[in-house]
Amino acid sequence: MGAMKEAVLAYMAQLPSIDSVADMAGLPEYRHTYGANPQQDNNRRASRAAKVVARYAELLDGEDAVETMVADMLTDVLHLLDGIGVDPEPILYRAQHFHAEEVKGEW
């Protein structure tokens, strides 16, 4: 991996090994507080998202793979946006932009 790629990935979330939805449910809970440490902030963001996916899996009685549950949840969010008349493209673009900034420690 080149130096530029390493810099871009400098603050990707680092969580304990997650092999199941149950592992996700066991992560710590964090509120929306951020400090001067981008790595810790992104770990907290990822942990919070894991809690949401774990709760979503509970609603479905889902025991599928983590990747499947995340894909199912994102699909349902797209259905939600359809249902309330919101174009998902700008939201997806914004989310990807925010993620890129946060991974680089710029947010």
User: The pTM is what?
Assistant: 0.81
CA distance 41 to 87: 29
For the cut 90, the answer to whether the pLDDT of residue 25 exceeds it is no
Check residues 29 and 2 and name the one with the higher pLDDT. Answer: 29
CA distance 64 to 71: 11
Place of tokens 């509120």: 31
* Domain range annotation of the chain: 3-103
pLDDT range class, residue 1, cuts 50, 70, 90: very low
Helix segments in 1-107, DSSP class H: 3-8, 21-25, 38-60, 66-83, 88-103
Question: pLDDT tens digit string along 44-82?
Answer: 999 999 999 999 999 988 777 889 999 999 999 999 999
Q: Using an 8 Å Cβ cutoff, are 68 and 76 in contact? A: no
Question: In angstroms, how far apart are the furthest CA atoms of the chain?
Answer: 44
Number of neighbouring beta carbons within 10 Å of residue 88: 15
Number of neighbouring beta carbons within 10 Å of residue 48: 15
Q: What is the pLDDT of residue 32?
A: 66
Q: Using an 8 Å Cβ cutoff, are 61 and 97 in contact? A: no
